[in-house]
Chain A
Amino acid sequence: MLQKTYENIDSIGRAILGIKAKGVHNKELAEVIYPNGQKAFAQVIALDGDQVTLQLFGGGFGVSTDCKIRFLGKPVQVGFSDDMLGRVYSGNGQPIDGGPELLSDMIRVAGPSINPVKRLIPKDMIRTGVPMIDVFNTLVRSQKIPIFAKAGEPYNRLLANIATQTDADVIIIGGVGLKYDEFHYFRQRIEEAGSKNKTIMFVHTHRDSIVEGLMVPDLALAVAEQFALQGKNVFVLLSDMTQWSDYLRQVANAQDQIPANQGYPGDLYSQLASRYEKAADIEGAGSLTILGVTTMDDVTHPVPDNTGYITEGQFYMKDGYLELFGSLSRLKQQVNDRTRPDHRSIMNAMARLLSEAEERVKAQKFGSVKDDYSLRLLDYRKTFQTELMDPFRYLELEDALDLCWDTLAQHFKKEEVGLSSKLIEAYWPEKGKFKILKEMTHE
């Protein structure tokens, strides 16, 4: 296809460029050619007569009216090959680890979604060794689930832990708006865990343009999807999708779009959904699981709020703990009836009692908690927190379940826990016979 070059740039913004051109395709890839011969990528995002709007992968800074735009006659693509494993790429798909560029097949980016009938009902538990996940909010293959946390919580550590402690065939890390030390941390952890050869990183750091940041999830997911189609179980880590949404807001704003909530574009939900929905267990092929990070102060903020409606639950991290309330795995019901017979029931009983305890915490502030039962509830809450909510304590699921029984028996009578007589008979540990919990005597 003939590649046409145009010179009459009309406008240059922080991320957007306007130019008059003919015969241009929507979403076509283009090159900005600087007077000194340097090049940067751009993509068509809107057409109006001969007025073409492009988003600039390298940002608008330094682009001049004497730059030229060459339309490349192809959409945005990304390379795909097994040799990419172990490598690090930027948000425009170029290697940034000093290694050689690869000759690889080019695949489409942000393609259509898989036909729902090709999806399998998720059915395989992913054991993470994290009690709050395995017991209370079980992770399931092909799940899409973010960690909700304030900036500053150790969410990337948990993300890296989960990815390396599980049995993924391929790990793809999509870093959006990473601080340099976070990028470094991921690289180091992956190498330490011996997972480098099954990992590909697409990284956007704060020094790169926001449009490159916007591209990262699409590149990561396009490559991940190919591996999944080849039968691999792929884990995609996306950190941080709040920054990604922020970039989306900036680009929408530059296009004069009417903002919906807090300046975010009205299609924030659809934009997030089209990425997260790439997660799938594919009939006759592999699977794609997405673990994201959504930094937030308040869960009703538009980004966590829209995300929560899209993802299959969330892990809520607060003050270094994985919280029970606020966390949810929507897919746990698919698997937690096939782990151990007491799993579901004890999970619910523990949660119910913790919720009762939370009510006492409020009352405690009024100084009105004096009765024995309430005090025991508060003790229970303390044990729960120290024993179970540490995201970095590694326990096999069965041990974690035993720990739950120990915790109940430590603080309650059999009839207080709301469990069926059958289960109590089978699992209730008598004093002195705790399996995991160090028994406390308090009188």
Chain B
Amino acid sequence: MMQKAKGKVVSVNESLVGALTTEGSVMNGEVAYIIIEDGKRLKSEVIDVKPNDIVYLQVFEDTGWMKVGNLVEFSGLPLAVKLGPGILGSVTDGLQNPLYELAKKEWFLERGLVVEPLDITVKWHFTPSVQKGDLVTGGTVLGSVPEKLFEHKIFVPFSIQGDHTIEQIAPEGEYTVDEPIAVIKDAVGKSVELKMVFEWPVKKPMPFNERSVPIDPMPTGIRILDALFPIAYGGTACNPGPFGAGKTVLQHSLARHSQADVVIIAACGERAGEAVEVFKDFPELIDPRTGKSLMDRTYIVGNTSSMPVAAREASVYMATTVGEYYRKQGLNVLILADSTSRWAQALRETSGRKEEIPGPEAFPMYISTLISAFYDRAGIELLPDGKTGSLSIIGTVSPAGGNFDEPVTQATLLSTGAFWGLSRALSDARKYPAIDRIDSNSKYPSLLNREEVNFLLELLRDGKTIASNIILMGEKGITDEAYIRHQKAELLDAVFLQQNSFHEVDGVTTPDRLRAMFDMVKEIIDATVGIKGKEGIRSHFNFIRLAFLDWNYMKPDEEGFEKQKMKLVNLVKQREHVAENV
């Protein structure tokens, strides 16, 4: 065991603090506490070890009133997250301090405040699944407790290696996370006491038991995604876009409607108000798939934009580690990281203060490696019990000036499997979700089959070409036939790709309904329109659009739903008929 270091502050430059170590050894990445005059202990992390016993610390709190000579205590341990029952439904800051508990102490996020991440007073009903004498190792399930919607497995900490024997195991009963539930002994007879909670270093990916490839689409309720640019369980996606193009609304919609078991929202360097909307609304919302509160499947890590910048990085990694832990539980986990650009910017700030040689746009050279490694933590895991768990990551990117050529967007595009490019032109035209219909892509399978997807994409591409011809030559400059094709593309956009995410019914589309809507769209697209003249053609499609939108806003079990559908079909056919007569 290395001897923990001690030191003193020698320099302060915003969140970057230099310390001179006077004794002990220092590990890169270990946590250190700087003790300021009022006795508060400010948490920090070693990010560089330099010659002459100097180490650089990035401080997770405001460094005001710190001075040269303040004591530094090194912990010898890397930044870690506590894993165990009680995470779901909670809201913490980027260092796992529960915000509701903090609020009981102070209204403001005063520095140096620390609260137990997992409530140590809650009793959990533990049922053991091993017996005295059983052989176990890191990752073996010791038993389980019910947490919200599912049975939360209690593991032997993943850091434990080699065979151990169960010395003692707690009988079925009520325990807190702070009470021992087992004692295990290694080959040489050394005993370890285990609780229902253990720590894992946030920057170290949890090893996969066995990894597999993402192939099953994860329904999100968002039609343009599920149909054209899907994400798979265990997959990764990014949605870069300029401000105001609808990233936030899209993220909220994904958080509410995605068919995942657990949703982790990493609000990284973004507006506090957006996280507030989630954790104040979600407890009131019922998840139709479980019949329980939406908050029961949600965990929110909030390091919002006015919180200390150095903790942004920690918040993203913490969310990911918690995600990996719930994947080990055999669940489908979705992480929504909003925004990875803020994390990259935090790295840039620190890098600048360390006077590292900057890369493009002053981002550190290693930014692309960090981004790729982050998305690589997503994936499908085949667990020892034969079950499967998955971790999907959807990362928001906020490119400077909305320009996708910048380093963070580019590194992200290389690392993710689906690209949802948000477009200001579409959002200006109020075409939500403003996901670019032509430039976006996904390598995952859709809820529709491949031919159907291509059928739609082809129409969209045709529509775009014709639209630019109309600008050049006017409506009169193109044939009726091309104009009909154009109107079909517009209709597809208006009634199928566009979606009112604030509407109770239209805001979320189930796979079944998506199928029904697609079939209807296909019928319209396939129909021959015999009308002559642009005015008549436009009016025909206007009527169809109106009827289709009315239909979109109706529940399938609602009175009039079938009638509206018939009306729509008749509109499509009737006009055909009328046209023939003419």
Contacts and interface: CB of A to CB of B under 8 A. Distances in A.
B304 A116 contact: yes
Nearest to B247: A309
A257 B16 CA distance: 13
Interface string A41-52: 000001111100
Q: Interface size class for chain B? A: 35 or more
Nearest to A345: B500
A420 B553 contact: yes
Nearest to A360: B471
B277 interface: yes
Contacts of B271: 277, 310, 312
Contacts of B14: 46, 267
Contacts of B470: 363, 368
A370 B302 CA distance: 54
Interface stretch (A20-28, A78-86, A172-180, A382-390): A20-28
B307 interface: yes
A194 interface: no
A270 interface: yes
Given A328-B244, A366-B472, A416 B542 contact: yes
A371 interface: yes
Q: Which of B103, B243, B244, B403 has the most CB of A within 10 A?
A: B243
A348 interface: yes
A352 B431 CA distance: 8
Interface in A322-379: 325-326, 328, 330-331, 333, 337, 344, 348, 351-352, 355, 359, 362-363, 366, 368-374
Nearest to A415: B542
A181 to B, nearest CB: 32
Contacts of B401: 300-302, 305
A308 interface: yes
A247 B502 CA distance: 41
Contacts of B467: 359
B107 interface: yes
B280 A121 contact: yes
Given A277-B271, A371-B474, A420-B550, A352 B429 contact: yes
Interface stretch (A107-115, A159-167, A203-211): A107-115
Interface stretch (A234-242, A258-266, A398-406): A258-266
A87 interface: no
Contacts of B361: 260-261
A309 B12 contact: no
B559 interface: no
B65 interface: yes
Interface string B86-125: 0000010000000110110011111100000000000000
Given A113-B304, A359-B471, A368-B474, A47 B67 contact: yes
A369 B474 contact: yes
A269 interface: yes
Interface residues of A, number: 82
B152 to A, nearest CB: 25
Contacts of B535: 371-373
Contacts of B553: 420
A428 to B, nearest CB: 13
B428 interface: yes
Interface in B44-97: 62-69, 91
B550 A113 contact: no
Nearest to A300: B401
B414 interface: no
Given A310-B305, A368-B474, A371-B476, A119 B67 contact: no
A337 B304 CA distance: 28
Contact of A270 (B37, B66, B349): B349
Contact of B345 (A23, A142, A269, A312): A269
A278 B471 CA distance: 46
Contact of A113 (B109, B502, B538): B109
Given A47-B11, A48-B12, A421-B550, 9 more contacts: A26-B66, A117-B276, A260-B361, A266-B345, A270-B346, A273-B269, A277-B306, A313-B244, A363-B470
18 contacts: A25-B67, A26-B63, A26-B64, A113-B109, A113-B272, A260-B362, A261-B361, A273-B306, A280-B272, A282-B107, A301-B401, A302-B400, A308-B244, A333-B502, A368-B476, A373-B534, A418-B549, A421-B550
Task: Kindly list the 7 A-B residue pairs having the minimum CB-CB distance in the complex, ordered from nearest.
Answer: A368-B474, A300-B401, A273-B305, A308-B243, A277-B306, A27-B64, A113-B306
